[in-house]
Amino acid sequence: MPGVEELPSSDLTAPLQEVALKLELRGITKRFGALVANDQINLTVEPGEIHALVGENGAGKSTLMNVLYGLYQPDEGEILVDDKPVHFTSPSDAIAAGIGMVHQHFMLVPVFTVAENVMLGAERTRGGIAGILDRRRARREVAEVSERYNLPVDPDAVIEDLPVGIQQRVEIVKALTRDVDLLILDEPTAVLTPQETEELLAVMRGLKESGKSIVFITHKLGEVKAIADRITVIRRGKTVGTADPATSREELATLMVGRSVKLTVEKGPATPREPVLQIEGLVVDDDRRVRAVDGIDLTVRAGEVLGIAGVQGNGQTELIKAIMGLQPVLAGSISVAGERIDGWSTKKVLGAGVGYVPEDRSADGVVKEFSVAENLILDLYDRPPFASGPALNRDAIAGSAKERVEQFDIRTSSPGAAVGTLSGGNQQKVIVAREMSRPLKVFIAAQPTRGVDVGSIEFIHSRIIHERDVGTAVLVVSSELDEVVGLADRIAVMYRGRIIAIVDPDTPRDQLGLLMAGIVPDEIAARGDRGAYAGTAASDANEDKS
Amino acid sequence: MTNPVPPTQRTPDNEPAAAVRTAIAPDQDGPEQPPSLGKLFLANLWAANSATVTVLALVLSMLIGAVLIVLSSPDVLATFSYFTSRPGDALSASWEVISDAYLNLFRGAIFDGEAFAAWQAGEGSWQRVLAPISETLTYSTPLVFTGLSVALAFRGGLFNIGAQGQAIIGVICAALAGFLLPLPPVLHVVVAVLAGALGGALWGFIPGILKARAGAHEVINTIMLNYVATYFLAWIILQNGVKSPDRADAISKPVDASAQLPRLFGDDLRVHFGIIVAVLATAAVAWLLERSTLGFEMRAVGANPSAARTAGISVGKTYVLLMVVAGALAGLGGTNMVLGSTASALTPLVIAQIGFNGILVALLGRVKPWGVLAAALLFGALTAGGNRMQSYTGISLELVSVLQALIVIFIAAPALVKALFGLRAARAGRAQTKLAKGW
């Protein structure tokens, strides 16, 4: 049949409005040893609804979704699809029943094309026994699905060349080609820029209009309110409530944490004083010797928080590492309180009064096998009172650990417990406690609350503001725009190794979002406070205000 | 697919300690007495390995060893040819040869009842009673050092496969200092021992600095340096001034008596001062790792080099120091082979396999200093007993090497041991498997 292409067996020609799937979870209980990860959880997803599942880290959201997706078997309870009980022993069962999942960490092969990734796991072959991969058909399927649901992707693009947002779209396309009616999105916005998030939300709305149901897992309350039809809150493995999007953020946060929390950072006006951290013309390469920081001038004053906003991978990491002496400085200078520190060893930089919370907590921040007490002295172990000569002073270490565990509200069974057994938030508090337990001139925090629960975020933010108020120059790097806006007195937006603007924290979000995408809005460009001398100009402006 | 972490998870260190508490519970009179020194030692000994697994590994290797003993004796095998008509013959012959072998192993390593009876009767000397222990300690001494060398490096995140080469350079330096330097008695032995340690330290420094500066992997470099050291030893023995003028074969001059490590209980017992140094070295390494700032750096670098670097610890410097100290320890192990009582001159095989056995000892001792000491004692006992077994029963000493290897294999595969004995795989076992995978 030349020219006439056989349509795939999946029902792609069906009308747009499909009969969506109704999902019901009844009394799901999942135990791991003595830990009850899910305790009698009930969840109903109506056809064509966007159902948000919110809860803190470790609340049991992912466990529940893994039960639903056939990765775990529930100890109790049942799953009903369209009112019929089903039993999933593997993800393929779930897919067959019409349930698809987009994982937080993409399950894509970076060197394969979009079409190849989409057919992976459900490869169609032609040529009978020869088993030749039917790439053409895969490409066609991708094209059809992306057109139908308005998810433009190039079937022949190689995954590793695509931005994160598009990769995610490929994951969604992949799920849709499996003809699923309910899509689970596990923390889909964690890796996206504000613009990409907007696009994703639009895609979700489109899918909903085509009759798909969506379970949307997140802990970002703003997005939940923007898109969800209903919200289920999980705390410590239990369903604590179902809310509608009209519920205020504060109420939702209270449901999540179990007590009332302040979502906005409480702080008074800053009183910036003399410049402490001064960076001029800084040039740094990354580990692959690609230029990462391309001529940065930056000044942080005593008593102010300078926030660096930007999508990850725009040189923030290397900028901070260069300050800390962890990445060689190729050109330019860094000084702390008038003293040049570029070229110094990390130990010397720390000794000069720089506190540092690294962005990758488990890789750079803590030694998981070490006890809480040992981690609390990781960069102080060779100074009195913790060391006397070549020996460690165990009493001083234990005493100080006990004190700081209390002071920083570190939830641990004992200071002798390995840090690896603590939750992410408490590990982060260990790092913050360590870095704040010596006199500081500069405090640098990279992603200070990444993967940290709401309660700990509040605590860490208040400590950072406290540090500012005692006159430390604070530099905060975060890919979380809310965090930068909440903490910072001035915001420097970094894009491709440069500071493209320094703005006030009350700059509208959409403008910040554009800046993060490398576009300088006219309003900001007109003000002229961007580029090399923006640092001083904006901080002067700040001073005038306060 | 995240792996759920059970909330009751304890640190791996707690686990064996808990096992110890149950293991030694019957001895305890009061409920919460502070542990005595002996119990602390026991705790450390057991903590070096989950007690059950160690005992079971020993039992299993002895069982396999028993099969090998039967297979290797033609007389016993002959009785199996008429097994169906007279099974009693085969079984009793097997039992005889196996029990004879293991009894002699025990007598040669720990306690010889006959020698004790003779001494009681006034016919034998007390030295003969202590001889098995003396032999065990003598064979253990170098293994303590090489085991500590490997264990220390491992705790700092390095695989020191080069203890053998470091021990060889150590033995060469110690021997040269022992017969080339004319020094007064006490000073001579001190200088010779230090020379051995320095030689080993130098041989450890090379892979250390290569790792720190060039990122060269220490496994490759230490293995290669083992060859260099082995052939350097073979070469230097034949040089003028080193080679013994009285002998035709490859052997050096003997070490001066003034450079020999003194024997502890007279000339009849071979145990020498080295074992005391070995215990001191164990204590020193334990202190270094747990109580010193340097050890803190080493452990931090070993567990998470990137966090250590971020905390201002110089990872490169720590690697170099680790390898220098590990090399010095291995060098001391080599030193014992020529200044102790096993030999007094260099030969191409003077240090036997102490470096490689050190790796086994470190693994068996779960890379903890006191565990290494205990493991070295076990290996020393097997060698000492194996000597007697060979001379009394004709069963080859190589059986002992097979036993040692089997023990380590079972220790490294606790899941296997537990499956064989139908035990539930405990977390401690999994932790050990993880450790074993590291090798």
Does position A175 have pLDDT exceeding 70, yes or no? yes
More confident residue, B232 or A544: B232
Is A368 within 8 Å of B303 when comparing Cβ atoms? yes
Burial of A21 (0-12, 13-18, 19+ CB in 10 A): buried
Contacts of B314 (CB under 8 A, 6+ apart): A345, A347
In the prediction, which pLDDT does A9 show?
45
* Distance between CA atoms of residues A50 and A63, nearest Å: 19
Condensed to tens digits (0 to 9), the pLDDT of residues B369-409 reads 999 999 999 999 999 999 999 898 888 888 888 988 898 88
Greater model confidence, A141 or B176 = B176
What distance in Å separates residue B88's CA from the closest CA in chain A? 51
- Convert the pLDDT of each residue in A476-485 to its tens digit: 998 778 889 9
- Lowest mean pLDDT segment, chosen from A30-34, A439-443, B71-75, B114-118: A30-34
pTM: 0.76
Report the candidate in B288, B294, B300 with the shortest Cα–Cα distance to residue B148. Answer: B288
pLDDT the model gives residue A58: 67
Instruction: Tell me the mean pLDDT in the region B402-426.
Output: 73
Q: In this predicted structure, what is the pLDDT of residue A61?
A: 82
**Cβ of A390 and B293 within 8 Å?**
yes
Task: Residue A127: count other Cβ atoms within 10 Å of its Cβ.
Answer: 9
Q: Is residue B331 part of a domain?
A: yes
* CATH (one of 3.40.50.1980, 3.50.30.30, 3.40.50.720, 3.40.50.300) for A262-353+439-546: 3.40.50.300
Q: Find the DSSP H helices in B85-155.
A: 87-109, 113-120, 126-155
* Calpha distance B123→B126 (Å, rounded): 10
**Which residues constitute the domain of residue B182?**
142-372
H-state helical runs in B161-273: 163-180, 185-214, 218-237
Yes or no, beta carbons of B311 and A350 under 8 Å apart: yes
Task: Give the model's pLDDT for residue B49.
Answer: 47
- The band of A252, judged by pLDDT with boundaries at 50, 70 and 90, is confident
Architecture of domain A23-109+179-257: 3-Layer(aba) Sandwich (3.40)
Q: Is A392–B291 a contact, with Cβ atoms under 8 angstroms apart?
A: yes
Within-domain flag for B110:
no
Question: Where is mean pLDDT largest: B7-11, B89-93, B174-178?
Answer: B174-178
Indicate yes or no: CB of B11 within 8 angstroms of CB of A356. no
Strands A35-45 and A23-32 turn out to be antiparallel
Among A63-67, A464-468, B160-164, which stretch is predicted with the lowest mean pLDDT? A63-67
In whole angstroms, what is the distance from residue A88 CA to residue A81 CA?
11
Facing A32 at nearest CB: one of B1, B4, B300: B4
Counting the structural domains of chain B, the total is 1
Q: Side by side, which strands form the sheet with A50-54?
A: A99-102, A182-186, A213-218, A50-54, A230-235, A238-243
pLDDT at B18: 39
pLDDT band at B423 (very low <50, low <70, confident <90, very high): low
∠ CA B302-B307-B308, nearest 5°, is 55
Tell whether B243 is covered by a domain. Answer: yes
Q: Same fold for the domain at A23-109+179-257 and the one at A262-353+439-546?
A: yes
Q: Is A349 on the interface with B (CB under 8 A)?
A: yes
Going by pLDDT thresholds of 50, 70 and 90, the confidence category of residue B37 is low
Residue of A nearest to B9 (CA): A421
Q: How many residues does chain B have?
A: 439
Q: Which of A415-419, B205-209, B273-277 has the lowest mean pLDDT?
A: A415-419
Q: Mean pLDDT throughout A541-546?
A: 39
Instruction: Work out the average pLDDT over A66-90.
Output: 89
**3-state SS, residue A81:** strand
Q: What is the mean pLDDT of residues A321-349?
A: 94
The answer to whether A499 and A297 are in contact (CB under 8 A) is yes
Per-residue pLDDT of B334-380, as tens digits, reads 999 999 988 899 999 999 999 999 999 998 888 899 999 999 999 99
Domain coordinates in residue numbering, chain A: 23-109+179-257, 262-353+439-546, 365-438
- Per-residue pLDDT, averaged over A207-216, amounts to 89
Inter-chain contact A392–B293, Cβ cutoff 8 Å? yes
Contact between A33 and B6 using a beta-carbon 8 Å cutoff: yes
3-state secondary structure of A294: strand
Q: Which two tokens stand for residue A34?
A: 């003595």
A345/B297 CB distance under 8 A: no
| Cβ atoms < 10 Å from Cβ of A465 | 18
* pLDDT per residue as tens digits for the range A391-408: 999 999 999 999 999 999
A contacts of B309 (beta carbons < 8 Å) = 326, 346, 364
Neighbours of A48 (CB within 10 A): 22
Nearest CA to CA, how far is B425 from chain A (Å)?
Answer: 14
Which long-range contacts does A523-529 make (Cβ < 8 Å, 24+ apart)? A529/A501, A529/A502, A529/A503
State whether B310 and A324 contact (CB < 8 Å): yes
Nearest to B11 among A32, A324, A417 (CB): A417
Bridge partner list, A241: A233
**Average pLDDT taken over every residue of chain A:** 85
C-alpha angle B42/B43/B46, rounded to 5°? 80
Rounded to the nearest 5°, which phi and psi values hold at A510? -65, -35
Pick from A92, A45, A39, A51: nearest CA to A69: A92
Does the pLDDT at position B434 exceed 60?
Answer: no
pLDDT (tens digit per residue) in A418-433: 998 887 788 999 999 9
Which residue from A minimizes the CA distance to B292? Answer: A391
- In the numeric block, the tokens 């004790």 are attached to B116
Contact state of A390 with B310 under an 8 Å Cβ cutoff = no
Q: Is residue A342 a contact partner of residue A333, using CB atoms and an 8 Å limit?
A: yes
User: Would you state the pLDDT for residue B45?
Assistant: 42
Query: Which of A452, A519, A504, A502 minimizes the C-alpha distance to A480?
Result: A452
The C-alpha of A71 sits at a distance from chain B's nearest C-alpha, in angstroms, of 7
Summarised one tens digit per residue, pLDDT across range A121-140 is 777 777 777 778 788 888 88
Residue A433 in contact with partner chain B when CB distance is under 8 A: no
Task: Label residues A359-380 b or e (16+ Cβ within 10 Å = b).
Answer: bebbebbbbbbbbbbbbbbbbb
- What residues have CB less than 8 Å from B127, skipping those under 6 apart? B265, B266, B268, B269
Rounded to whole angstroms, the Cα distance separating B129 from A88 reads: 70
Most confident of A57-61, A151-155, A158-162, B379-383: B379-383
Q: Is the pLDDT of residue A342 over 80?
A: yes
Q: Is B420 a member of any domain?
A: no
**Does the pLDDT at position B222 exceed 80?**
yes
Query: Tens digit of pLDDT for each residue in B269-306?
Result: 999 999 999 999 999 999 999 999 999 999 999 999 99
Which of chain B's residues have a Cβ under 8 Å away from the Cβ of A363?
Answer: 304, 306-307
A323 in contact with B, Cβ within 8 Å: no
Confidence of residue B161 (pLDDT cuts 50, 70, 90): very high
Judged by a CB distance cut-off of 8 A, whether residue A533 touches chain B is: no
Q: Chain B contacts of A374, Cβ < 8 Å?
A: 296
Considering only CB atoms, B307 lies closest to which of A350, A371, A378, namely A378
Q: In this complex, do A368 and B304 lie within 8 Å of one another by their Cβ atoms?
A: yes
Query: Do residue A34 and residue B6 have CB atoms under 8 angstroms apart?
Result: yes
Among B8, B292, B311, beta carbon nearest to A391: B292
Query: pLDDT tens for residues B110-127?
Result: 998 888 999 989 888 888
Q: What is the ipTM of this complex?
A: 0.77
- If you average pLDDT over residues A179-190, what whole number do you get? 85
**Distance between CA atoms of residues A114 and A158, nearest Å:** 6
Q: Is B418 contained in some domain?
A: no
pLDDT band at B82 (very low <50, low <70, confident <90, very high): confident
HSE-CB at A48 with a 13 A cutoff on CA atoms is: 9
Name the residue among A71, A346, A369 with its Cβ closest to that of B310: A346
The yes-or-no verdict on residue B5 having pLDDT over 80 is: no
Residue B426 in this model has a pLDDT that exceeds 70 = no
- Per-residue burial over A383-412, b = 16 or more CB atoms within 10 Å of its CB, e = otherwise: eeebbeeeebbeeebeebbeebbeebebeb
Phi then psi for residue A194, to 5 deg, are -55, -40
- Do A378 and B300 lie within an 8 Å CB cutoff? yes
* A22: pLDDT strictly greater than 90: no
CA atoms within 13 A on the CB side of B111: 3
